[in-house]
Structure 1
Amino acid sequence: MPITHFSFNDNKKNWHLEEISFDKLNLLVGVSGVGKTKILKALELVCRVATGGYYKLNGEDWKIGLKYANHEYEWTFKSGFVNPKFSSIPISKVSTIFYEEIVKDQNIMLLKRTESSVLVNKDEIPRFFKNTESAIHVLSNIQAVTSIYEGFQRVVFSEILQEQHFPYLLNPAESDEDLSIPLEQFQDESRQLPTVVKAYRLQQRYPDEFEKVKQVFTEIFSSVEDIQVSLKKEGIGVYEFYFILKEKSAHKWIYQWDMSAGMFRTLVYLFEISLAPAGSAIVIDELENGLGNNCMPGLMDFILKKAEYLQVILTSHHPYIINHISNKSWKLVTRKGGEVSVINASDIPQLQTESSLENFIQLNQLPEYKEGIS
């Protein structure tokens, strides 16, 4: 499992997450407003900083544990405050990273970055990068840092709502690719691509694997007989990618922007999870959003099966989802003011019954659940 533990402080907003430990399968539960989504957003920020994505920093600090290639890493990070009243420069341009530390296997110092120096394997190196850039991203080609950088690249955040009505534009450049690489290498090399683009390449290069996803989808939606990924040329070297499906009773194909939300979301989840390299983390906020009751059983069975070799981090309010995930994987989120705590269900005596239904009933009766915000 990539992420082992995580604590986070947003000092500007006075929001603090006490350390949470993660397992292979994790379901964050709690009343609305308690901080479940914010925990996932904090994780996303951390991964963006590590991998060079877009981010804004202003007084955040964190400590996160990551497991990759049979080693454990811990990244400690602190950023400075920016007061916009005294600057017309956007926060993202001036917020300073003033401390980073990477420790391997609990006692091997790989990197230490302060305001005055950067040490890699205890040797000082010239400071050639900006004070707004993470050392993990900038030094990712250095052996001591490569593994933790690659580990963060294997954390996948689902962004389905942005995809359905905006098909992706890209040059497929299939002729420039090695069509003979193993599937595992293909999954690894395409992990940062949009889901629809990965699905298109899977369809073109590994049709048997594409067929497996289609089979699961048509078992969930028995009215559907076929799915494909299509593309249309939009300009010189630019193509529009989109999902299409055909129902048994219809003569015309249905484009992704005309699909039901449940169909589209299920389709994207199936491809995202199927194409994640082994050992990746899949992070999904409020899995039930946009899904009808007919989608959930098949999708949940698929997710639980894939959780054998992926780490899965979910949030949900839905009784069906909560009931079909073992209470051993529940993590109850509570908040007191700006202080957020997470309690493992295994540490709550009332949730140790034999019946999943009884555990669900007991969960809803817990004071920590009913009065999760104080």
Structure 2
Amino acid sequence: MLNVKLKWIEFENLRTGLKIERVVFNDDITLLVGLSGVGKTQILNAIEYSLKLAVNKNLRLEPYNTTLCFQIGEEVYVWSYRIQQDHTEDIFEPKEIKYFFAYEKLQNIKGDILMQRTPDTIQVTGYDKVPTPKKDESLLVQYSEDAFVKPIISEMLKLYPIEIEMDVRGAIAQESFNMFKAKIKESFKENEKQPFEKFSHLPVPLKIYITKEYYPQMYAQIFSAVKELFMEINSIDIVEDPDREIYMVAIDVYGKRLLQHEISNGMLKTIYYIVELITMSKNSLVLIDEFENGLGVNCIDVLAELLLGERRDLQFVITSHHPKIINQISNKKWKIIERDIATVKNFTAEEYGIMHSQHDAYFNLINRWEFEGKI
């Protein structure tokens, strides 16, 4: 399996004027540190939108000017696109497309252009003549089945960002769950040794069901991590609530079953985090905005250890304000985010002048912000 990583991104919102200067990411974890409102979440949003745009036909276009760099194995690619408002009028065609791709280019780090479009030209490797492309879809989407693009898209899908911003109170309709169970059962009749990655995109309750029924080792890993935090939990399951005709997560605590709506928000969110982190596809890019939100202090340590130690194949870009999170992640992995009017800037700890011991770096950062009147 190839190693796939996001290397850097540059971004500009042409509607608002917001510009994000190039942010270079670490291969393992990048912690975005900064005060509220400086643009940390905007960086996550720019990453997520761009990667979805490369593989999704139906994504709504936004007026963005973006360049991102990603590595697949030993090969490094740079993909640029500019989406802007369509001011043309066609009396024969309903005006449905508000924005269009004004520019797009995919090239390798050596400078070889694999595909490119401008208002006047279109170029795609392997074609002498290229038909006019759809103006509301990326060339990556339109040529995703071509021999030279298919392997790139296949690997980019592994970079598909998993944003852990979960609805921990959502349940599954009885009819939908029963249909899902039947399909899964049929799938395992055909191939009982299929890899779990096939199911890694599913909602957490469904992944709990699948691991417990078909992947006992993975379920044991999930349960062990949960048990380390919550000794009182004896089982995790997904069960039916016949009165409301839904299925939901349930736990057994000291012999008493607690349904999803009876479990504390912090405990439930921690369970969801554990399931997600253990079941994610290899080489996934994971975006987590304010990692600590809704978690108990004792949960942060275990989840941070799981995040930093157990899944070394994953690439994380996370934001946090919590000193426990910030102190657990080496300051060499920090990107300190600041905003100058409409420009989001970023600095390493060394560039920011706080490259001290881990403990001192955090307090030096806080003291500097306080001295500069930012807090």
Band the TM-score falls in, shorter-chain normalisation: 0.7 to 0.9
TM-score scaled by structure 2?
A: 0.86
| Per-residue Cα deviation, 1:128-168 (whole angstroms, up to 9, x for no partner) | 65311112223222232223323332233334443423437
Residues 146 and 259 of structure 1: CA distance in aligned 2, closer, same or farther (over 3 Å):
farther
In structure 1, distance between residues paired with 2:10 and 2:269: 30
Q: Find the partner of 1:181 among 193, 199, 205.
A: 193
Q: Which residue of 2 aligns with 1:19?
A: 22
Partner of 1:201: 210
Choose from 330, 337, 347 the match for 2:334.
330
- Paired residues of 2:286 and 2:316 also in contact (CA < 8 A): yes
- Contact 1:160/1:268, CA 8 A, preserved across alignment: no
> Which residue of structure 1 aligns with residue 253 of structure 2?
247
Answer with 290-299 or 155-164: which moved more: 155-164
| Pair 240,263 (structure 1): closer, same or farther in 2 beyond 3 Å | same
> Partners in 2 of 1:257 and 1:156 — Cα distance?
28
Matched residue type, 1:221: F
Q: For the Cα contact (< 8 Å) 1:111–1:122, is it kept in 2?
A: no
Gap regions ≥5 residues in structure 1 = 84-88
Question: Out of 218, 225, 228, which is 1:216 matched to?
Answer: 225
Shift of residue 91, structure 1, vs aligned partner:
9.7
Quote the residue 2:279 is aligned against: 275
Contact 2:124 2:130 in 1 (8 A): no
Deviation at 1:53, TM superposition (A): 6.4
> Alpha-carbon deviation of 1:110?
1.7
Query: Which residue identity lines up with residue 186 of structure 1 in the other structure?
Result: F
Q: How far did residue 221 of structure 1 move?
A: 1.4
Counterpart in 1 of 2:90? Answer: none
CA distance in 2, matches of 1:286, 1:90: 42
Q: Residue 114 of structure 2 aligns with which residue?
A: 110
CA distance in 1, matches of 2:81, 2:207: 33
1:8–1:63 contact (8 Å) kept in structure 2: yes
CA–CA distance in structure 2, aligned partners of residues 15 and 231 of structure 1? 47
For 1:9, give the aligned amino acid. Answer: E
Q: TM-score, normalized by length of structure 1?
A: 0.86
Task: Determine the structure 2 residue equivalent to 1:352.
Answer: 355
Query: Among 153, 162, 178, which residue is 1:157 paired with?
Result: 162
Find the aligned partners of 1:67 and 1:324 in 2 and give their Cα distance: 27
Are residues 233 and 131 of structure 1, via their aligned partners in 2, closer, same or farther at CA, if it must alter by over 3 Å? Answer: farther
Q: CA RMSD in A?
A: 3.1
Distance, in Å, in 2 between the alignment partners of 1:372 and 1:144 is 50
Structure 2 vs 1, CA of residues 318 and 95 (structure 1 numbering), >3 Å: closer, same or farther?
Answer: same
The residue identity in structure 1 corresponding to 2:7 is T
- CA distance 1:92–1:367, shift in 2 (3 Å): farther
Letter in 1 for 2:193: I
Range with greater deviation from structure 2 (362-371 or 173-182): 362-371
Q: Does the Cα contact within 8 Å between 2:171 and 2:246 map onto a contact in 1? A: no
Give 2:63's aligned residue: 59
CA contact (8 A) 2:82 2:102 kept: yes
For the Cα contact (< 8 Å) 2:162–2:284, is it kept in 1?
no
* Paired positions, count: 360
Change (3 A) 1:273 1:220: same
- Deviation sequence 1:5-59 (CA, Å, 0-9, x none): 0010001101000000000111101000001111111111112211216533342
Corresponding residue of 2:199: 190
- Unmatched segments (≥5 aa) in structure 2: 88-92
Flag the 1:41–1:267 CA change in 2: closer, same or farther, 3 A. same
Quick one: which of 162, 167, 170 aligns to 2:172? 167
Work out whether residues 334 and 369 of structure 1, in 8 Å CA contact, stay in contact via their aligned partners in 2: no
How far the C-alpha of 1:96 sits from its partner, in A, is 0.5
For residues 100 and 26 of structure 1, do their structure 2 counterparts lie closer, same or farther at Cα, with a shift above 3 Å needed? same
Q: Contact 1:28–1:316 (CA<8 Å) still a contact in 2?
A: yes
Q: Which amino acid aligns with 1:162?
A: D
Which SS does the other structure have where 2:170 is aligned? coil
Match of 1:86? Answer: none
Aligned residues: percent identity? 24
CA–CA separation in structure 2 for the residues paired with 1:369 and 1:276: 42
Instruction: Indicate which of 255, 260, 264 corresponds to 2:264.
Output: 260
